[in-house]
Chains A and B, each alone.
Chain A
Amino acid sequence: MTSAADRDPNREIRIDVPLLTRVEGEGALEFTARNGKVESLFLKIFEPPRLFEKFLEGKDFSEVPHVAARVCGVCPIAYQMTSIRAMEHVFGMVEDPWVHAMRRIVYYGEWLQSHALHINLFAAPDFLGFTDAIEMARRHGDDVKRGMHLQALGNDLLRMLGGRSVHPIGLRVGGFHRAPTKHEVADLVDKLLAARDTAREFVAWAAGLPCPVDEQDFVSIAIQHPHEYAINEGRLVSDRGLNIAFAEYPERFREHQVAHSTAHYSMLDGSSYFLGPLARMNLNFSQLPEEVQDLSHELGLKFPSRDMFQNIAARALECYLAVVDSLNILQAYRLPSRPWTEFTPRAGVGHHCTEAPRGMIYHRFELNERGEVLSAAMIPPTSQNQARLEQNLNSAMEHFGLDHSDEELCELCEKVIRNYDPCLSCSTHFLKLTVHRE
């Protein structure tokens, strides 16, 4: 029982969550309010810097995908694919259509396993009133099994082209080391056909979770492509008029450090912005296959949406997209004469963006004439989302009202943070050191 004093909005409130749970990586939240106003709110990411960009210097281009995969055990494809495409730009390569299609497949595998894991085991317990997924599994066993089934299917897609689901080894500059056999593809098509209804049920379940409404004013940014729901190719667009090539990213986006976090904050022309499934739906809904759009309409989902918690429904719809579009691609599968395109290394700078499960990721590679890395930059989605997430926490708290108990305020903050599916480990990339000498 909480007393009236416990809910006095003018009381001094200090909330300290020393270790955020059910997110990827480690971080903390510190929040202070006084006299009815939020005084300070920090999402503190205290994981040590990963230094991967430095590790890559001097490495041959062929080693980069294997090192890049180690940045993240949950979304290695995002790091591999973005670095590979950036280096292909340096080498002046045009993406082969078969390679393009298979890259969508392997990326769908990553989306499916990451999204299903997040909705099923991280986010859902928040909305169904359980402290963790094991407790939830005792009451909602069939729902948890359904999510695990989709997660396993995502891993199957990853394994088919990547060789294994964790730190895949099948990707290379130019394409893939090996093309799946027709028999392997046929097996996977059978699994995808069997999972189509499961995925529809999963979307309906996720869209029906009793999430709060959290209307926010934010800028959505995603890759947009003229012919497909963008994952690997296109231009960076926003719902406020941004429309740039990937190479223009460094001119418009700037990173800066803050004292309370080892992750950088990224700003577009000085303002925060939002990435991820909801941003993609807000910008690219009309490019979803008709079947996916129809399901969204049937469930009463509307995009674009300003409700941050629609991120869960958007994430679930992308699971269905992964099943439907993988089927479309794999049912027309043909063995290529060779699963990669030949090229000659040369010196230069390449930029590329792809859509990681959590949102757009940017890589820049500078190579010498032998194809060795001179410098690398990798900007993950979580650090790009960090400024927006803190703003979201502030305004969600104001809308919710400080006349709630500390425990209720804390619960809301954790829900808001998890809703971004943040990957705190990946967001801690290279820190710059500035020494002032007097």
Chain B
Amino acid sequence: MAGIGSPHGADRLGWAVIDALGERGLPEAVALRACRTPSELTPLLLACSRALVIDALLGDGPAGAIHWLKMADLPGAALRLSSHGVGLVEAVQLAAALGMPEDRLQVLVLDVVLPQSDIQPAWIDALVAQVTAALSPTA
């Protein structure tokens, strides 16, 4: 499980969820990673058997709306921009080009609407609940 983020603003969300999950005690096989840039993600996606990536989404709202995405839901990408422009989609597409099976990946995003939004504790709780449910043997 990888949370994408940085230390400030709503972008902190991915890290905050990883921190919260770390406190809950997860099955031993689950590794938690806080990634600062999406490009750190590609090697992780290639090395695991199942990947769940958690990130903040700048969408049309409402704030707090949660979406589960698969590879097919992500837009096409070409790694032609600078490394300043390597985002989650490019990192995932590169992993797919290097052999990651499409069904390995699930992306869990929460709409923060604005980058300067304050992270709500309820958002973290909701995402943790979604992840925990996805990890249950019956999921």
Instruction: Given A144-B98, A145-B46, check contact A133 B37 (CB 8 Å).
Output: no
| Contact A141 B81, beta carbon cutoff 8 Å | no
Residue B59 is within 8 A (CB to CB) of chain A in the complex: no
Residue A301 is within 8 A (CB to CB) of chain B in the complex: no
Instruction: Given A134-B97, A141-B97, A145-B98, check contact A155 B81 (CB 8 Å).
Output: no
Closest chain-B Cβ to A230's Cβ sits at a distance in Å of: 26
How many chain A residues touch B (CB < 8 A): the figure is 29
The residues in A between 131 and 152 inclusive whose CB is less than 8 angstroms from any CB of B are 131-135, 137-138, 141, 144-145, 148-149, 152
A131 CA to B78 CA in the complex, in Å? 8
B97 contact set on A, CB distance < 8 A? 134-135, 137-138, 141
User: Which residues of B are interface residues toward A (Cβ below 8 A)?
Assistant: 36-37, 39-40, 42-43, 46, 77-84, 90, 93-94, 97-99
| Contact B42 A133, beta carbon cutoff 8 Å | no
Could you count the A-B residue pairs with CB atoms below 8 Å apart for me: how many are there? 62
**Partner-contacting stretch, out of A21-29, A173-181, A380-388:** A21-29
| Contact A24 B99, beta carbon cutoff 8 Å | no
Residue A260 is within 8 A (CB to CB) of chain B in the complex: no
User: Which residues of A are interface residues toward B (Cβ below 8 A)?
Assistant: 21-26, 73-74, 117, 121-122, 131-135, 137-138, 141, 144-145, 148-149, 152, 155, 164-166, 425
B82 contact set on A, CB distance < 8 A? 21-26
A135 contact set on B, CB distance < 8 A? 78, 97
| Contact A134 B79, beta carbon cutoff 8 Å | yes
A145 contact set on B, CB distance < 8 A? 46, 98
| Contact B84 A165, beta carbon cutoff 8 Å | no
- Which residue from A117, A137, A141 sits with its C-beta under 8 Å from B83? A117
- Which residue from B42, B43, B80, B93 sits with its C-beta under 8 Å from A22? B80
B81 contact set on A, CB distance < 8 A? 21-22
| Contact A155 B40, beta carbon cutoff 8 Å | yes
| Contact A134 B77, beta carbon cutoff 8 Å | yes
Closest chain-B Cβ to A341's Cβ sits at a distance in Å of: 29
- Which residue from A25, A26, A122, A137 sits with its C-beta under 8 Å from B98? A137
